Amino acid sequence: MQKLDRRTFIQQMGTLSVLACLPGAVLAQIVSRVPPQGLFDADSTAEQVTAGLDLAGKTYAITGANSGLGYETMRVLALRGARVIGIARTMDKAEEACSSVQGQTTPAFLDLADFESVVNCASMIRGMDMPLDGLICNAGVMALPERELVYGMEKQFVVNHLGHFILVNQLMDTVMAAPQGRIVLLSSRAHQRAPREGILFDDLAFEHREYDSWTAYGHSKLANALCSRELARRLSGTSTTSNSVHPGVINTNLGRHMPWYIQWAGKLLGWTFMKTVEEGAATQTYVATSPGLAGVNGYYFADCNPDPGETPQMQDDAMAGRLWQLSQELTRDYLPTPTTIPA
Ligand SMILES: NC(=O)c1ccc[n+]([C@@H]2O[C@H](COP(=O)([O-])OP(=O)(O)OC[C@H]3O[C@@H](n4cnc5c(N)ncnc54)[C@H](OP(=O)(O)O)[C@@H]3O)[C@@H](O)[C@H]2O)c1
């Protein structure tokens, strides 16, 4: 593994000190949009990608903070001095997770399948009256065995995409108030399992096709990546950035809906081909914090690097724009007016 050497570290710190003194608009103009390659890789952990970083004075919010990658990300951000708003599905879960890590954490809760609760959570965070340096949309459900509907749509699309779409819109002014705020959306390589035609604009309930749990999960993860891409387009020319992430394959509670024998095989043999949770949390932690990624906007990262494995669907700007518009229509009653997100 290529570790962060002393020279790179000094360069990054130097860049950070200079950038921190600049107004956001100037920052957006001058910073290279091309991410550095190869500083870290699939074996890097969240602690390694933040080694030497002092995040004191920065605030991050992360969904799914009570479990798996979200918990590890919160732990490491707090370890590096950041204030972390740890969002879970219930206040009890959020409090338990927050109180079990060192550092400054604030519990919050939402159910991404209940849009009113997303709005309430965002309003509580806005009430804290501090800019958000990063919003990490990490919570998710995978491979629900039966088709479940929420608001008349397939549940994974609602939880993984639409719930986060509302949260991002509701907190955008708070992120844009930071010198270089970052939105990080958890996608997955499973986006490759989305339907061949991409987003099912005319069948979000999976009514007119046979339901397949992986196709529906892939569909929701394609939506995460396309949403990040369209947001990046809208944010270009500002100091705020949007990127999406594939964390790797990691044995977490995400597999809870899979057949028992697959879960069992994962526990027994997962170590041979899966990342650890510490490694799985690295890419999102890196994208949310690395000084070298200031101004890097509109990329899909895997193993702490821009991923060349994007499918053509993920690069489909027309589909991304159409998804954004449809998502706005579907969640209109829960979005702030006027929106701070540029058109
Ligand atoms: N693990 C992998 O191999 C892998 C691969 C690719 C992408 N990802 C992505 O990485 C992210 C984190 O996954 P993970 O592996 O850390 O899974 P995890 O341990 O199961 O964590 C998922 C988190 O999402 C929360 N969540 C689920 N439904 C929710 C809802 N309706 N409202 C609010 N929160 C909800 C869960 O809360 P509860 O604990 O209350 O259920 C939990 O905190 C997901 O977006 C996933 O798609 C993971």
Q: What is the pLDDT of residues 267-276, one digit of tens each?
A: 888 888 899 9
pLDDT in tens, 14-53: 444 444 444 444 444 434 478 888 889 999 999 999 999 9
Rounded to an integer, the average pLDDT of 311-333 is 96
Specify the amino acid at residue 59. Answer: T
DSSP string for residues in 63-78: ESTTSHHHHHHHHHHH
Please state the pTM of the whole predicted model. Answer: 0.91
The pLDDT value recorded for residue 201 is 98
Give the pLDDT band (50/70/90) at residue 325.
very high
The pLDDT value recorded for residue 27 is 46
Rounded to an integer, the average pLDDT of 317-341 is 94
CATH annotation of 37-330: 3.40.50.720
- Is any atom of ligand 1 closer than 6 Å to the C-beta of 266? no
The pLDDT value recorded for residue 26 is 44
Q: Ligand 1 center to residue 217 CA distance, Å?
A: 12
Whether the per-residue pLDDT at 3 is higher than 60: the answer is no
The pLDDT value recorded for residue 309 is 65
Q: Are 7 and 46 in contact (CB under 8 A)?
A: no
Structure tokens at 175: 């992120």
Whether the per-residue pLDDT at 258 is higher than 60: the answer is yes
- Is any atom of ligand 1 closer than 6 Å to the C-beta of 139? yes
- What's the angle, vertex CA 139, arms to CA 226 and CA 117, rounded to 5? 100
The pLDDT value recorded for residue 54 is 98
The pLDDT value recorded for residue 8 is 40
The pLDDT value recorded for residue 340 is 79
The pLDDT value recorded for residue 336 is 94
Q: What residues form DSSP beta bridges with 59?
A: 83
Of 67, 75, 91, 95, the one to substitute when testing ligand 1's pocket (max ligand atoms within 8 A of C-beta) is 67
The pLDDT value recorded for residue 216 is 98
- Is any atom of ligand 1 closer than 6 Å to the C-beta of 250? yes
Q: Ligand 1 center to residue 64 CA distance, Å?
A: 6
Q: Where is average pLDDT lowest: 177-181, 228-232, 261-265?
A: 261-265
CA 146, 149, 154, 159 dihedral sign is negative
The Cα 240–Cα 173 span in angstroms is 10
Q: Ligand 1 center to residue 24 CA distance, Å?
A: 32
- Is any atom of ligand 1 closer than 6 Å to the C-beta of 252? yes
The Cα 101–Cα 330 span in angstroms is 37
The pLDDT value recorded for residue 164 is 98
Contacts of 67 (CB under 8 A, 6+ apart): 88, 97, 252, 253
Contacts of 97 (CB under 8 A, 6+ apart): 65, 66, 67, 71, 74, 86, 88, 107
Active site residues: 211
Q: Are 214 and 220 in contact (CB under 8 A)?
A: no
Rounded to an integer, the average pLDDT of 146-170 is 98
Single out the residue of 62, 68, 46, 52 nearest to residue 278, CA to CA. Answer: 46
Q: What average pLDDT does the chain have?
A: 91
